[in-house]
Amino acid sequence: MIWINLGIVVLALVGLGLYGFLLYKKKMAGDVRRVKRLTERFQIRIGVIQQLIDEIKRHVDTVNASVAEMKRLSVKVKTESVELRDASIGLTQEIKRTAGIESSPVSTESKI
């Protein structure tokens, strides 16, 4: 007789546990759907943000390349401006010498 009562109690507890689990699952189904939707939204937002980050990185790389090119060109301009200055000084001296404004330190007879 005790085994029958003990079996009924165990079955009742298992039934109550199963019934509670089913109620909990039913209540949680809406929450699980909401969490899945939020997760999908966040994944979409993450994708959009990643695309924007990649685009910004491309722009930064382009700007860095432009700055490097400008630096390279500025060094070239500086070098060429020094050469131009030296050539203009030489040309000015030659014009003055040719015009007779300034005499050369070495006579032309000694050059020949």
pLDDT per residue over 41-96, tens digit each? 999 999 999 999 999 999 999 999 999 999 999 999 999 999 999 999 999 988 88
Buried b (16+ CB within 10 A) or exposed e, 57-81: eeeeeeeeeeeeeeeeeeeeeeeee
Q: Average pLDDT of 12-19?
A: 88
Please report which confidence band the pLDDT of residue 106 belongs to, taking 50, 70 and 90 as the band edges. low
Tokens of 73: 């060109």
Residue 40 has pLDDT above 80, yes or no: yes
**Within 13 A of 35's CA, how many CA atoms are on the CB side?**
5
Residue 1 has pLDDT above 80, yes or no: no
Long-range contacts of 42-49 (CB under 8 A, 24+ apart): none
Residue 99 has pLDDT above 50, yes or no: yes
pLDDT reported for residue 50: 96
Residue 11 has pLDDT above 70, yes or no: yes
What Rg value do the Cα atoms of the chain yield, rounded? 45
Portion of the chain with pLDDT greater than 90, in percent: 50
Tokens of 99: 């015009």
| Whole-angstrom distance, CA of residue 76 vs CA of residue 48 | 42
**Within 13 A of 80's CA, how many CA atoms are on the CB side?**
6
Asked whether the whole model's pTM tops 0.75, one would answer no
| Whole-angstrom distance, CA of residue 83 vs CA of residue 89 | 10
